[in-house]
């Protein structure tokens, strides 16, 4: 699964993070301990949002907890994938949004009552037994067992409730008119059967070499597009963590102590595999569906195969696979089913479970408890973690001494010479440029754009180590001279020729349509041909992506007629509409209540996102990126794979 996620990292990032539920701190996320921030950084402020501060300690614990939650699902989680998904930035963004919402709750005078807190506590399955609250004493015991301070936990719940309430207040005024609802219903439910043929620039080769005159002519025609942004140059000294990591000595007692202090890091998570038979209500009464489910359960209890019965009777997407919801997918099932799964032993089958949209029967096909990995099995991993921590502490100390000396000398160069360190020049860097080998993420170049002229930086942390820099040169932004961007001009002219060739090809295809169909033309011109059985507006289309022009054509172009060439990012396409399915007012009337809820929720989400953006601009925020990268390095290094 992790391999599949790596391959689809761009599409996963927004799905994993932007849901309102992500704003609510989960039950044992922050309040359950889970690590301390090294050194004196625990008391530092990482970010300010308006007048509110986000502490480095809170960010550290939240990031660590988020990664531990992910590791429970993906045992192969490593530093590379964490950085690919940009999880640290996502966690910080989550905390900023929480802070904004809590500020909004203050401004709107929204509070959480004691009864609301009590109700929230009673609602958590962990505080229930047989569907009833376990009682105050047992509730306190559970918190104590998890080293959770009761008052801090309940204060956290109050914050959660305030956030939930402010979200409702902010979005309560969002409505949708009957006309807008009708249009939205059409947009969501009308479909068109399309065929299309594409001419992609990425598949076109331009072999010719351009003369200087051709390049200069192209440059003159596009001159305003070629600009040199502000660039800065620094002298710097960089300490690479890996250079000293192997030299760090460890005692066996240090390894044993780390193992005991971090037992939860070295556990194989519980494995629960579930199968399901689902019977939807459709137009039936609940009692009738429950009776049908009981009949199926009786057959299971009499020895019939669960898988075979699921293939016959189950009406969800997994039915065809014998109702197998695997080790992970079942976690998306509704709460009543998850509660039932928690109480079932391996091989056990549930009674019929009443849901809002039907009835289900569950079987736990595998259930293995969490297993503690022996220390000898994880010694190499712990050794790598501890050596990395010691190496980072070592280079942090060297950087701190260099910074102190450089400020005393008012020169990084002089301080480096006295300490026997090699100083390097960055050359002119744009903001965000990487420095090969030591800073692929651009942390250094970002930091130096915060410096005043000739200023010496504080330690700049990257995933590879830590550096000190002194600003030596600032070059203001300006129009680019031809010689400075000749390579970019050459690339631009190549793309220009590719685009022209793609358009020429697609025009030739259109001219020949009629004598040949799209399938034959795609073969003759070596182009991609595709069909879409049911295209909806805003639907992603293969190499084309989302395209408003195609959406319009899908519901306006006469059937069987070939469109004019339609441009997209990497070429041109021709589209033909083969059929359409439209909706009627009768369809609409029968479904408008459910459709209103779906569309209203989408509109609320859009409004809510816009509200947060405006509030963020109004309040302002500041992030201490040096501290941010330092914390990230500390936390993420624990997920490094052992060589």
pLDDT at 29: 38
pLDDT at 35: 41
Give 20's pLDDT tier (boundaries 50, 70, 90).
very low
pLDDT at 640: 66
Instruction: Indicate whether 10 pLDDT > 50.
Output: no
Burial of residue 495 (number of CB atoms within 10 Å: 0-12, 13-18, 19+): middle
Inter-residue contact 54 to 625 (CB < 8 Å): no
For residue 590, is it within any domain? no
pLDDT at 270: 81
pLDDT at 271: 87
Give 621's pLDDT tier (boundaries 50, 70, 90).
confident
Select from 516, 561, 514 the least CA-distant residue to 192.
Answer: 561
Measure the CA–CA gap between 510 and 506, rounded to whole angstroms.
Answer: 6
Query: What is the domain extent for residue 39?
Result: 2-174+617-639
For residue 316, is it within any domain? yes
Measure the CA–CA gap between 570 and 499, rounded to whole angstroms.
Answer: 8
Range 63-83 average pLDDT: 78
Measure the CA–CA gap between 122 and 94, rounded to whole angstroms.
Answer: 26
Q: Are residues 293 and 407 in the same domain?
A: no
Choose the weakest-confidence range: 65-69, 301-305, 498-502, 611-615.
65-69
pLDDT at 334: 82
pLDDT at 508: 96
- The 10s digit of each residue's pLDDT in 109-130 is 999 998 999 998 888 887 887 7
Instruction: Indicate whether 33 pLDDT > 80.
Output: no
Beta pairing class for 271-280 and 267-268: unpaired
Measure the CA–CA gap between 602 and 185, rounded to whole angstroms.
Answer: 13
Q: Are residues 314 and 347 in the same domain?
A: yes
Q: Are residues 94 and 148 in the same domain?
A: yes
Range 443-448 average pLDDT: 87
Range 5-20 average pLDDT: 35
pTM for this predicted structure: 0.57
Q: Any idea what the CATH number is for the domain that residue 343 is in?
A: 3.10.50.40
Q: Are residues 324 and 222 in the same domain?
A: no
Instruction: Indicate whether 584 pLDDT > 90.
Output: no
473 - beta bridge partners?
233
Instruction: Indicate whether 208 pLDDT > 70.
Output: yes
Inter-residue contact 96 to 611 (CB < 8 Å): no
- The 10s digit of each residue's pLDDT in 510-555 is 999 989 999 999 999 999 999 999 999 889 998 999 999 999 999 9
Q: Which of 318, 334, 369 is the last residue of a domain?
A: 369
Q: Are residues 507 and 430 in the same domain?
A: no
Q: Any idea what the CATH number is for the domain that residue 31 is in?
A: 1.10.4030
DSSP string, 312-339: HH--STTGGGTTB-TTTGGGGS-HHHHH
Higher local confidence (pLDDT), 201 or 4:
201
Q: What share of the chain is helix, strand, coil (3-state, %, to 5)?
A: 55, 20, 30
Q: Which of 452, 476, 500 is the last residue of a domain?
A: 476
- The 10s digit of each residue's pLDDT in 340-363 is 998 999 999 999 999 888 999 999
Measure the CA–CA gap between 493 and 44, rounded to whole angstroms.
Answer: 51
Total structural domains within the chain: 4
For residue 77, is it within any domain? yes
Measure the CA–CA gap between 457 and 433, rounded to whole angstroms.
Answer: 17
Instruction: Indicate whether 639 pLDDT > 80.
Output: no
pLDDT at 518: 94
Inter-residue contact 355 to 336 (CB < 8 Å): yes
Instruction: Specify the DSSP element, H or E, that contains 172.
Output: none
**Average pLDDT in the chain:** 86
Range 309-318 average pLDDT: 92
Q: Are residues 144 and 204 in the same domain?
A: no
Q: Are residues 302 and 326 in the same domain?
A: yes
For residue 595, is it within any domain? no
- The 10s digit of each residue's pLDDT in 387-433 is 988 998 899 999 999 999 999 999 999 999 999 999 999 999 999 89
For residue 511, is it within any domain? yes
For residue 220, is it within any domain? yes
Q: Any idea what the CATH number is for the domain that residue 569 is in?
A: 3.10.50
pLDDT at 3: 43
Q: Are residues 170 and 48 in the same domain?
A: yes
Q: Are residues 47 and 128 in the same domain?
A: yes
Inter-residue contact 468 to 165 (CB < 8 Å): no
Q: Are residues 463 and 528 in the same domain?
A: no
- The 10s digit of each residue's pLDDT in 460-515 is 888 788 999 999 999 999 999 999 999 999 999 999 999 999 999 999 999 999 89
For residue 599, is it within any domain? no
For residue 264, is it within any domain? no
Give 76's pLDDT tier (boundaries 50, 70, 90).
confident
Higher local confidence (pLDDT), 352 or 57:
352
Q: Which of 340, 369, 398 is the last residue of a domain?
A: 369
Percentage above 90 pLDDT, the chain:
51
pLDDT at 642: 52
pLDDT at 80: 74
DSSP string, 499-516: HHHHHHHHHHHHHHBTTB
Copy the structure tokens of residue 643. Answer: 């060589």
Measure the CA–CA gap between 167 and 163, rounded to whole angstroms.
Answer: 6
Q: Are residues 546 and 443 in the same domain?
A: no
Place of tokens 């005078």: 109
| Furthest C-alpha separation in the chain | 87
- The 10s digit of each residue's pLDDT in 160-185 is 999 999 999 999 888 888 888 888 88
Higher local confidence (pLDDT), 555 or 137:
555
Inter-residue contact 353 to 274 (CB < 8 Å): no
Copy the structure tokens of residue 521. Answer: 């033309």
Long-range contact pairs involving 398-402 (C-beta distance under 8 Å, separation at least 24)? 398/239, 399/239, 399/459, 399/466, 399/467, 399/468, 400/459, 402/237, 402/468
Beta pairing class for 371-372 and 267-268: antiparallel
pLDDT at 21: 34
Q: Are residues 200 and 337 in the same domain?
A: no
pLDDT at 26: 39
Range 209-220 average pLDDT: 94
Give 571's pLDDT tier (boundaries 50, 70, 90).
very high
Give 43's pLDDT tier (boundaries 50, 70, 90).
low
């Amino acid at each position: 699964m992790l391999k599949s996620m790596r391959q689809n990292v761009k599409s996963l990032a927004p799905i994993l993070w932007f849901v309102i539920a992500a704003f609510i701190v989960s039950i044992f996320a922050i309040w359950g301990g889970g690590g301390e921030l090294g050194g004196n950084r625990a008391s530092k402020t990482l970010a300010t949002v308006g007048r509110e501060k986000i502490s480095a300690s809170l960010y550290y614990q939240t990031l660590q907890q988020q990664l531990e939650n992910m590791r429970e699902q993906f045992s192969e989680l490593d530093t590379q994938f964490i950085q690919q998904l940009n999880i640290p930035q996502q966690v910080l963004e989550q905390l900023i949004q929480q802070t904004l919402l809590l500020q909004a709750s203050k401004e709107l005078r929204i509070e959480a009552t004691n009864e609301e807190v009590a109700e929230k506590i009673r609602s958590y399955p962990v505080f229930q037994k047989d569907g009833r609250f376990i009682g105050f004493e047992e509730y306190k015991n559970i918190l104590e067992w998890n080293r959770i301070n009761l008052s801090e936990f309940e204060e956290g719940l109050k914050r959660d409730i305030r956030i939930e309430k402010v979200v409702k207040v902010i979005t309560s005024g969002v409505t949708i008119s009957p006309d807008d609802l009708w249009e939205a219903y059409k947009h969501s439910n009308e479909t068109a059967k399309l065929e299309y043929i594409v001419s992609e620039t990425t598949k076109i080769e331009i072999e010719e070499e351009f003369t200087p005159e051709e390049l200069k002519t192209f440059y003159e025609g596009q001159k305003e597009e070629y600009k040199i942004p502000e660039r800065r140059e620094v002298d710097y000294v960089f300490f690479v963590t890996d250079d000293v990591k192997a030299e760090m000595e460890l005692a066996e007692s240090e390894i044993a102590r780390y193992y005991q202090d971090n037992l939860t890091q070295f556990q194989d998570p519980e494995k629960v595999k579930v199968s399901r038979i689902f019977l939807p209500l459709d137009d039936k009464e609940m009692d009738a569906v429950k009776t049908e489910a009981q009949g199926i359960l009786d057959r299971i209890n009499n020895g019939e195969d669960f898988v075979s019965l699921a293939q016959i009777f189950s009406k969800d997407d997994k039915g065809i696979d014998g109702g197998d919801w695997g080790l992970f997918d079942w976690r998306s099932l509704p709460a009543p089913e998850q509660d039932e799964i928690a109480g079932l032993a391996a091989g056990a089958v549930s009674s019929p479970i009443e849901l809002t949209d039907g009835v289900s029967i569950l079987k736990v096909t595998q259930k293995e408890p969490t297993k503690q990995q022996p220390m000898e099995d994880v010694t190499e991993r712990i050794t790598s973690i501890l050596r990395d921590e010691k190496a980072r502490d070592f280079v942090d100390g060297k950087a701190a001494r260099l910074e102190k000396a450089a400020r005393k000398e008012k020169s990084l160069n002089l301080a480096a010479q006295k300490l026997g360190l090699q100083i390097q020049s960055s050359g002119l860097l744009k903001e965000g440029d990487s420095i090969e080998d030591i800073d692929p993420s651009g942390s250094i170049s970002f930091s130096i754009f915060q410096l005043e002229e000739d200023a010496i930086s504080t330690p700049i942390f990257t995933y590879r180590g830590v550096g000190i820099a002194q600003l030596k040169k600032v070059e203001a932004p300006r129009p680019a001279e031809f010689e400075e961007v000749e390579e970019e001009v050459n690339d631009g002219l190549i793309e220009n020729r590719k685009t022209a060739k793609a358009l020429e090809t697609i025009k030739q295809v259109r001219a020949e349509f009629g004598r040949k169909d799209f399938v034959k033309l795609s073969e003759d011109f070596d182009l991609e041909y595709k069909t879409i059985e049911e295209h909806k507006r805003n639907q992603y289309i293969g190499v084309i992506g989302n395209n408003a022009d195609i959406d319009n054509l899908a519901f306006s172009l006469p059937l069987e007629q070939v469109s004019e060439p339609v441009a997209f990012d990497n070429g041109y396409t021709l589209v033909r509409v083969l059929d359409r399915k439209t909706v009627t007012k009768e369809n609409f009337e029968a479904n408008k209540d459910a459709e209103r809820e779906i569309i209203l929720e989408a509109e609320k989400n859009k409004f809510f996102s816009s509200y947060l953006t405006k509030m963020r601009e109004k309040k302002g925020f500041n992030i201490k990126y040096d501290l941010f990268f330092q914390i990230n390095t500390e936390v993420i290094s624990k997920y490094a794979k052992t060589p």
